Amino acid sequence: MIVALIDSGLGLLPTSAWLRRLRPELDLVLSLDPDGAPWGPKPAPWVIDRVLGAAARSLDRGAEVIVLPCNTASVTALEHVRELVGPGIPVIGTVPAIKPAAAVCESVAIWATAATTASRYQADLIAEFADGTEVVGVACHGLADAIDRGDRAGALAAISDAAARTPDGVQGVVLGCTHYPLLRDEIVAALPEGVLLFDSAEAVARQTLRRIDAAEMDTSVGSGTVEVFVSGRPGSLPSSAEAFDAGRLLGAIRA
């Protein structure tokens, strides 16, 4: 069985790695878009066109499930992808883990890109899921870009800056960008002891498997291969993927 994952960059690695851990027999098609990244500041029609192009290529490669492990892609293009592929192909989107954080924390900071932090999308999620929990947005300037470059020094500097701007006393931090879990341990180390960290990668992977199982799809046909498209071209994961555990788990696939 082939599962396709679509993101602008390395943000697809955490969910891909969870799928690999939970169902190693699944074949994966990973679509990254370094030529167009970042997607967050781009106009919605541009993002939709980019995501639909990746989804169409995934179908051509035999994908039976499509995952958007990207907040921008999910809020902008999820319904368009569902319309493209039809009811027979499960399409799974990603939402920041505000709801589970609010269930156990009285105060939460959402770490996200500057565009997401200022977006109506995040404001609407807070209004819908915060359930009385105090929520503050923290823009993590340059963190996603540094992760895509495999620039650990730059990423650590961005993490330190975001931690310094996170209000004292917050009980939880929600990782509102799918790139950030690649440096989960480093983020934990930068936060005060006892602050809980929430991300959506494992939840999205498990939801994907629930959808597969509910549809009684045959997962036995697969050998754990990984195929990569880079801005629409057959290629490989960038060398920067090797800087992260998830990239190494996937074998830092070469063409």
- Active-site residue among 65, 70, 102, 146? 70
- 86 plus 114 within the same structural domain: no
Q: Which of 28, 12, 70, 79 is nearest to 52 (CA)?
A: 79
Write the CB contacts of 243 (distance below 8 Å, at least 6 apart in sequence). 150, 152
Write the CB contacts of 64 (distance below 8 Å, at least 6 apart in sequence). 1, 2, 3, 89, 217
What pLDDT, in 10s, does the model give residues 171-230?
Answer: 999 999 999 999 999 999 999 999 999 999 999 999 999 999 998 988 777 889 999 999
- Active-site residue among 66, 177, 209, 252? 177
Average pLDDT of the chain is 94
State which residues form the domain around 189: 98-199
- 207 plus 85 within the same structural domain: yes
Q: Among residues of the chain, what percentage have pLDDT more than 70?
A: 98
- 14 has a pLDDT exceeding 90: yes
pLDDT at 223: 87
Work out how many domains the chain is built from and give that number.
Answer: 2
- Asked whether residue 194 is assigned to any structural domain, the reply reads yes
Q: Residue 151: which CATH number?
A: 3.40.50.1860
177 is catalytic: yes
pLDDT at 253: 47
- 254 has a pLDDT exceeding 70: no
- Range with the poorest average pLDDT among 97-111, 113-127, 137-151, 197-211: 113-127
pLDDT at 102: 96
CB atoms within 10 A of CB 114: 15
140 is catalytic: no
- 11 plus 80 within the same structural domain: yes
